[in-house]
Amino acid sequence: MIKSSELILNPDGSVYHLNLKPEHIAHDIIFVGDQNRVEKITQFFDSIEFSTQKREFKTQTGLYKGKRITVMSTGIGPDNIDITMNELDALVNIDLETRKPKEQLTSLNIVRIGTSGSLQEDIPVDSFVMGEYGLGLDNMLRSYVINDITENDIEDAFIKHTNWDLRKGKPYIIGCSQTLKNKFDSNQIHKGITGTAGGFYGPQGRVLRLAIQDPELNSKMDSFKFGNVRMANLEMETSAIYGLGKLLGHNCLSLNAIIANRANGTFSDDPYKAVDALIQYALGKLAE
């Protein structure tokens, strides 16, 4: 039995942070960072059956072209993904009354729709990126036993190429769900490694008043390639989603609308339009 201090439930029996019960979520789930983006997606639904919010975690479940889908905001960063992924898994794979893992486990389909900055000049603003791999620069996943799910050869090559200082922790690289990759792939989408940083400023190479440990890291990441795979973009959630998804047995894919190009210093004239286009693309693929 899992102790009450480890799996915390609210008085109504819902999981602590997400404020959800098992019947509230669909098998297909869309993650967004911004709570205001939830309704930008569900506005296209035929109907909404459930809605709740606690802190930054807003959830709505409904039907889109007959397909039951849940849309959930996770907030920013790998720490919030740790909460979201573990509590979602508890909803489907732990009996919340007996507090015991179920014998028959459920695998969810989780698609992140985010915004990001491109690291390559030829991945322009307003385009879409699919993260074939998530590169974790954040250390969160290292709290778990992850040796059998990481791409060790790519990790070692990245560490060597960037002359990575291991005092910051060892980067990890994890592949996306091949099933979801095949479902969402098209010639509209750029593919590559999506880097996940543990912060927005220094961890992503931004300098305001504080010096950073490696001012050249972004340019080193720009030039990193492993076979035909290269760095595509940098954000704050993907590798944590991929890692916990692999460990817990869920299918995960990250799609990003590129609103900034870090290589040439450009920013989208209408980032909201780019995000709306990605939302409609993703919903169409999920409903197929």
What is the per-residue pLDDT for 263? 82
Angstrom distance (rounded) from CA 135 to CA 152: 11
pLDDT value at residue 147: 83
Positive or negative, the CA dihedral 272, 279, 194, 68 is positive
pTM, to two decimals:
0.95
**Which residue, chain included where needed, has tokens 């973009």?**
233
Three-state DSSP at 193 gives strand
For residue 182, count other CB atoms closer than 10 A to its CB.
9
Predicted pLDDT at 214: 96
Tokens of 229: 């795979």
> One digit per residue, pLDDT tens: the chain, 288 residues?
999 999 999 999 999 999 999 999 999 999 999 999 999 999 999 999 999 999 999 999 999 999 999 999 999 999 999 999 999 999 999 999 999 999 999 999 999 999 888 888 899 999 999 999 999 999 999 999 998 999 999 999 999 999 999 999 999 999 999 999 999 999 889 999 999 999 999 999 999 999 999 999 999 999 999 999 999 999 999 999 999 999 999 999 999 999 998 888 889 998 889 999 999 999 999 998
Task: Work out whether strand 229-235 and strand 109-118 pair parallel, antiparallel, or are unpaired.
Answer: antiparallel
Report pLDDT for 107: 98
Distance CA 237, CA 219 (A): 21
Do 120 and 231 form a contact (C-beta atoms < 8 A)? yes
Contact 103, 62 (CB under 8 A): no
Which residue from 43, 181, 199 is spatially nearest to 111, judged by alpha carbons? 181
| Tokens representing residue 204 in the block | 């992503």
Helix (H, G, I), strand (E, B) or coil at 126: coil
Residues 230, 235: Cα–Cα separation, whole Å: 15
Q: How far apart are CA 61 and CA 151, in angstroms?
A: 34
* Structure confidence at residue 119 (pLDDT): 84
CB burial of residue 256 (10 Å; 0-12, 13-18, 19+): buried
Nearest to 87 by CA among 3, 19, 11, 29: 19
